[in-house]
Structures are given as C-alpha cells and as structure tokens.
A = this chain, B = another copy of it.
C-alpha cells in the first residue's frame, strides 16, 4: 500500500482553494502535486504558495501526469461530466463534489465511464461526515432507536442567492441545488424513495419568478420499505443557516443539528438570546476535511468508497422527480433501477 496519495485538484474557487489547504496540510496521506483552473494566474499562484509542482488551465493536461494518482473535482457542475469521463479513461482515482451533474444523462454517462474503467470514485456528500450525522448513523445501526420509520429534514439558507447562481439552468433549481443534500441523507438513513410529492412556490422573493424557480418547498417521500419522510427547504431562512434532521424510530428519536454559533448567551430584560450559524462553511467546514480524509484513506487502502457514484446518481434522480412533481402539481413515482420517474396515474 502506498502511504501517500498524489492528487490533482480541478477547480480553485472558494471551496477548491480550501480543499487544496485541507489536503496539503491537514491530511497526512494526501500530497497535492497539481492544480488546474480556467484562471491560469490563480492556478499558478496557489501552486506556488502551497509548494505544488504543476499548475494547468486545462484538466486534460493535468490528467496526463503519470505521478498523479487521483483527481479531486471541485470545478463548476457543468464541467463535472468531462473531467470525470476523462479521468476515468486515464484510470485515475476520482473524488467529485456534489452534485454529480445537473442532467441525468450526464450522470449515466459518467457512471458508465467509471464502471468501465473500474476506478475508485467517491461522491462528495459532506453531511454524511458531519459529527452529528455520522454519530446518528452509528447509533441507528446499533439499534438505539429501533427501526427508523419517519425521516424529517429541514434546510434553510440565510438569504437568497443571486439570480444568476440560482438559475435552474445552472443550479438545477431549489429542489436539486438545496435538496440534493437532504435527498442523499434520506436515502442514507432510510433507503430508496419510490414516491414523491412536492409543494412549493415563490413565497418570499417575487423576483424568483424571473428565473422560473421557487423559494420554498416541502417534499413528501415514501420509501421502498414503506416508511415515510419529509424535507422542507427554504431560501428565506433569514435568521441563519439552519440544517436539522430528525429520525423517529420505534424505540426512540434522534435529532441532528444546532442553531448557535458563538458559545455565549445574553440575558436582558428583553429576553435571553444567542446568535445563529451564519452559513454552510461555519456549519460544515470540519465535515469537508473529514470527508477528504476518508476519501484518501479508503483510496490508499483500496477499500470501497464511503459514498458511491450510484449514491450521487440516485440523489439526483430524486431531485429531478421532486422537481417534476412540483411542476406538474402531481404525485411522481420513481424506478430506482431504471433511473426513471413518472407521473402517478
């Protein structure tokens, strides 16, 4: 077994730059040997600052590096398909940030390429690596709450993203962009979803109508096992970044999440108060690092990845089905094997 995984990072935006940091300094088994970004100056600068040998503007050049075992993809979603397909063809180990893609066809193509090449592929869903979510999973596997029978999740962003970012053509829309995390968690805790019903509308930000997307939604899910669940999503959390999940079991219940950022409480005539979690990096930074560590370790040890490309594909399918339900104001059934969804007749 190698003791170091040599890595190229594709995409050096805000998250990509942090990934370089995490990989280079906080994960002993990782060694970043190359970076690539459309912005060549940025790539060169980051390479220099982190003692990284190679900087590219085209991922294909990076993939030529023989000494590079793996590629970590943090580039815009629209570029995922090409990089994954090309990396698989070169036999590289792959980590791909969520979402796998926007289109299901792209996802299918990527999955086929990965399976054909037989390469290790880790789908980036960092919430699974949050201390709260992973502790909950362990407790449930240990039978602490009996059989899980009801899944409830809530995701709220503290403010509306730019209309450019939120545009469904790029983001997939609310139910894909925000929902993909909750859909993955739903599958992780409860199994595949076979029927979905979404209600949602523009309730907080009228300007969302311009981009033909909604800002609040609620998704009902029936799982293959017959158990049930719901996810509500909001672009108008206003008070903070609020991610909560509750799993009701036959012997108990687990709640995951928290709302306080600074460990301080102020008591005044007007009441008792504390602050809230600002946004996702404050809430999940540690989870990103833990996930990358897990990826590096599993790849080095030639074990199965903790999150598979199929996980990425099925969460995407669920996101599409939920979106379709909201558009058609109708129930939608899902065939997880055929990777298809249809209006319920």
Contact = CB atoms under 8 A, between A and B. Distances in A.
A267 B276 contact: yes
Contacts of A130: 263
B250 A267 contact: no
Contacts of A218: 150, 220, 228-230
Given A199-B228, A272-B260, A267 B254 contact: yes
Contacts of A136: 264
A230 B228 contact: no
A146 B274 CA distance: 18
Contacts of A269: 238-239, 252
B266 A236 contact: no
10 contacts: A131-B264, A132-B262, A199-B222, A201-B228, A239-B252, A239-B272, A252-B269, A258-B263, A270-B273, A331-B331
A229 B154 CA distance: 13
B255 A268 contact: no
B275 A265 contact: no
A271 B268 contact: no
A236 B263 contact: no
A201 B130 CA distance: 31
A20 to B, nearest CB: 12
Interface residues of A, number: 75
Contact of A238 (B203, B222, B252, B257): B252
B253 A238 contact: yes
Contacts of A270: 273
Interface of A: 21, 24-26, 51, 130-132, 135-136, 139, 144-145, 147, 149-150, 152, 154, 156, 195, 197, 199-201, 203-204, 216-218, 220-222, 226-230, 232, 234, 236-240, 242, 248, 250-276, 330-331
B262 A135 contact: yes
In the assembly, how many copies of this chain are there? 4
Given A195-B199, A201-B227, A259-B267, 7 more contacts: A131-B263, A139-B264, A239-B272, A252-B269, A253-B268, A260-B272, A272-B276
Contacts of A232: 150, 152, 230
Contacts of A254: 264-267
A191 to B, nearest CB: 14
A200 to B, nearest CB: 7
A202 to B, nearest CB: 9
B228 A264 contact: no
B234 A248 contact: yes
A216 B135 contact: no
A255 B273 contact: no
Residue from A199, A230, A236 with most neighbouring chain B CB atoms (10 Å): A199
Q: Which of A258, A269, A330 lies at the interface centre, i.e. has the most chain B CB atoms within 10 A of its CB?
A: A269
Contacts of A331: 197, 330-331
Leading 5 A-B pairs by shortest Cβ distance: A25-B25, A132-B263, A273-B273, A252-B268, A149-B203
